[in-house]
Structure 1
Amino acid sequence: MNKFKVLGTTVIAIAASVFITSCKDKRSTGWEYAPNMYEHKAYEPDQANPNFADGKTAQVPPAGTIPVGFQRFDFPNTRGGYDSASVAVKNLLPATAANLKDGKVLFISFCSPCHGKTGQGDGEVVAHGYPPPPSYSKGQSSRGGEMKDLTDGKIYHTITYGVNAMGSYASQLSPQERWKVVLYIHHLQTL
């Protein structure tokens, strides 16, 4: 009978400990080591913040800093900037089959709705009543000269800032993707 007493006491002790621990607050993880490492106060961008002299959480980056992955394009969105880019800016991407293929995919996705798949200015928007953009191989540029004579800098400047009814594609295409589109547009200029 002694074995049954010990076994019964053990079962009762285990059941009591399970019951007691199950009633405990589930969110508590027990003792905390360095709680300020993971229970810090996160400030919202528009919330007051005593950690900065001006009391704002959202701070302006220091002057002269450049975001990671950002490439500067120091030609303003003016006619002078367009003309300067025409002379000074050259595409550094090689005209490989892979770059041309990528440029075609990007052109079809972003440019063909207006310019058409072959760059003749016969995109889908023309069917909806919008004025057609000029053909890359036969048209005249709104800024003067023939479209087939557009340089790397002129095309890149136009993609970056837009012109006339065309808006900027700087937020949709990274600088490298813009250069691939430039390569493909040069291919379309020869058609």
Structure 2
Amino acid sequence: MKSLFKLVVLMVVLISFASCQENSRPNYQYFPDMYESVGYEAYGEADFLPDGMEAKLPADGSVARGHKPFDIDGSLEGYDLAKATLKNPLDSTTIDSPRGGQLYDIYCAVCHGKKGDGKGILVTREKILGVPAFDDPGRALTEGSVYHTIHYGKNVMGSYANQLDEEERWQVVDYVMQLKSELGGSQTVKDSI
């Protein structure tokens, strides 16, 4: 009977301690700034930035996450350099021709045509004019020149760097070179532009 009495007294004491505890806030704050943080407005002025500046610029030479810089510039000299030196880094195990064909159909075929003959739907409807075929003897298409053109654009064609990532661009380059060979165009580099 005494042990039952002691057990009941112990339970009452424990319940009284548990009922007096306030669970709405912690008993201690290990890092007070985590519990009482300052709410900053996005793009608002902050006192820790100098001269009322809204945001800091990234450090010189920093590269955005997921972005791989293309070291050849968008000038005509850069185009010639890419045409002469740039090769497809994808090997035969990573080239996916059906996927390259799908990307080509989505982004390129509307102007260049499904076969690369320069007779896309916009050309046949006369919305744009003068899209040359991939096998045009006046053009010396190489993997580098096609990649450079997709990345920076050329003449009326704009850049597709925002629509296609690096690996997708190389898939499209491989498919363009396949279309060129199917049209009978040589894959050798010519001296003419």
Equivalent residues of 2:95, 2:171 under 8 A apart: no
Task: Quote the offset at 1:93 in angstroms.
Answer: 0.3
Residue matched to 1:109: 106
| 1:171 equivalent in alignment to 2:162 | yes
Indicate the residue corresponding to 1:68 in structure 2: 65
More displaced, 122-131 or 88-97? 88-97
Aligned to 2:190: none
The Cα offsets for residues 99-137 of structure 1, whole Å up to 9 and x where unpaired, read as 222211110111111111111111111133211411112
Query: Which residue number in structure 2 is paired with residue 30 of structure 1?
Result: 24
Aligned sequence identity (%): 36
Match of 2:39 among 38, 41, 62: 41
Going from structure 1 to structure 2, the CA distance change for 1:71 and 1:131 (only over 3 Å counts) comes to same
Given that residues 44 and 57 in structure 1 are in contact (C-alpha distance below 8 angstroms), is that contact kept between their aligned partners in structure 2?
no
Offset at residue 57 of structure 1 (A): 3.2
CA distance in 2, matches of 1:82, 1:179: 16
Q: Is the 8 A contact 1:103 1:181 kept in 2?
A: yes
C-alpha displacement of 1:54? 4.0
SS of 1:190 mapped into structure 2? helix
TM-score by length of 1: 0.72
Unaligned runs of 5+ in 2: 1-22, 183-193
Task: Render the CA deviation track for 1:48-83: whole Å, top value 9, x for unaligned.
Answer: 122222432322110011112211112111111101
Give TM-score, length-normalised by structure 2: 0.72
Distance 1:188 1:41, change over 3 A: same
CA distance in 2, matches of 1:165, 1:159: 12
Aligned ranges for residues 14-163 of structure 1 at < 5 Å? 30-31=24-25, 36-37=33-34, 39-45=37-43, 47-96=44-93, 99-129=96-126, 130-137=128-135, 139-140=136-137, 145-146=138-139, 149-163=140-154
Aligned residues: 155
Is the 8 Å Cα contact of residues 122 and 132 (structure 1) preserved in structure 2?
no
Q: In 2 relative to 1, CA 52–126 (structure 1 residues): closer, same or farther, beyond 3 Å?
A: same
**Partner of residue 189 from structure 1, selected from 180, 187, 190:** 180
Q: Tell me how far 1:36 sits from its aligned partner.
A: 4.2
- Residue identity matched to 1:79: L
Contact 1:100–1:180 (8 Å) recurs in 2:
yes
Return the alpha-carbon distance in structure 2 between the equivalents of residues 178 and 35 of structure 1: 50
Q: Which runs of 5+ in 1 are unaligned?
A: 1-28
Aligned equivalents of 2:101 and 2:47: distance in 1? Answer: 51
**Which segment is superposed worse, 47-56 or 29-38?**
29-38
Distance in 2 of aligned mates of 1:58 and 1:114: 41
Residue by residue over 1:125-165, the C-alpha shift from the partner in whole angstroms, topping out at 9 and shown as x without a partner, is: 1133211411112x25xxxx42xx31111111100111111
